[in-house]
Amino acid sequence: MKILGCLPVLVPMVLLISRVNSYILYCSSDHDRCCDRLFINTPNSVPGVTVTASSSYVNPNHPSHNHGPDRAELFEVSNYNLPGGGTSGWAAARSDANQWIQVDFGHRFYKVNGILLQGRGGCCDQWVTSFRMLFSNDAEVFYSTEVIEGTFDRNTVSRRYFDRTIVARYVRFVPVTWHGHITVRFDLLGCRA
C-alpha cells in the first residue's frame, strides 16, 4: 500500500448529535447537499458494500463474542445472547498504529463528505480520540487526510466533516490515538458519485 499526499482536513466546526437514533443532518453548500447517512453495516446499507478490518479482537474467555467489522454500525448494541452476537463496535485485536476498518463500495464510487463516530457501547470506556481517513480507487494507492479529532466518550455521536468532498471506492478509517482500546461504531456521510 502506498500513501500519497495530504488533503487538508476538517471544517473548523464540531457538531454533536444526541444518542437518539433519529436526527436531522444539515448540509453546507460546500458539500453539494450530499451528506446523507450511508447506513454502512445495516440492513439498509448500500448494495454491494463490504466492510473489512486489519484485525478484530477475540476475547479468550468468550471466543464466540464477535468484535468484528460487522459490529461497527452506528448505535449498535451488545447482543451476546444471540447467534453471531457480540460487542457494540469493531474492536481491533491490538491497539497500535497498524489498525484500520475499511468500506469497499464494490464497483461504485461514492462522494464522502464526513463521518459519524461513537465509541464502544456497553461495558467499556473505549473510543478513538483521533484518526486519519484514507481514500483509494484501487486499494493499492491511498490518499490520506491529516489527523482528525475523534470522539470524547463512548456514547455521544460526533460528526466530522472533511473540508472537501472525496470521491472514492475504498474509504479506510485509521485510528491514530484512542482511549482504552481501539473501538469504533461509525457511518459515513455522502452520496453516490
pLDDT at 41 over 50: yes
Can you give the pTM of this predicted structure? 0.80
| pLDDT band at residue 82 under the 50/70/90 scheme | low
Contact between 103 and 170 under an 8 Å Cβ cutoff? The reply is yes
Grid cell 456497553 is found at: 122
Domain ranges of the chain: 2-192
Burial class (CB in 10 A: 0-12, 13-18, 19+), 35: buried
Where is pLDDT greater, at 106 or 77? 106
pLDDT digits (tens, 9 = 90+) for 129-170: 999 999 999 999 999 999 999 999 999 999 999 988 899 999
C-alpha cell at 23: 436526527
pLDDT single digits (tens) 14-35: 333 323 333 333 444 454 567 7
- Residues facing 166 on adjacent strands: 112
Q: What's residue 11's pLDDT?
A: 32
What Å distances lie between residue 65 and 78, 85, 100, 125, 177, CA to CA? 10, 6, 20, 18, 25
> Looking at the domain 2-192, which fold is it?
Jelly Rolls (2.60.120)
pLDDT of residue 37: 85
C-alpha cell at 17: 448529535
Q: Give yes or no for residue 80 having a pLDDT over 80.
A: no
Q: How far apart are CA 2 and CA 7, in angstroms?
A: 15
What is the model's pLDDT at position 48?
Answer: 86
Q: Select from 86, 56, 58 the least CA-distant residue to 68.
A: 56
- Find where cell 481517513 sits: 133
Mean pLDDT of 90-108: 96
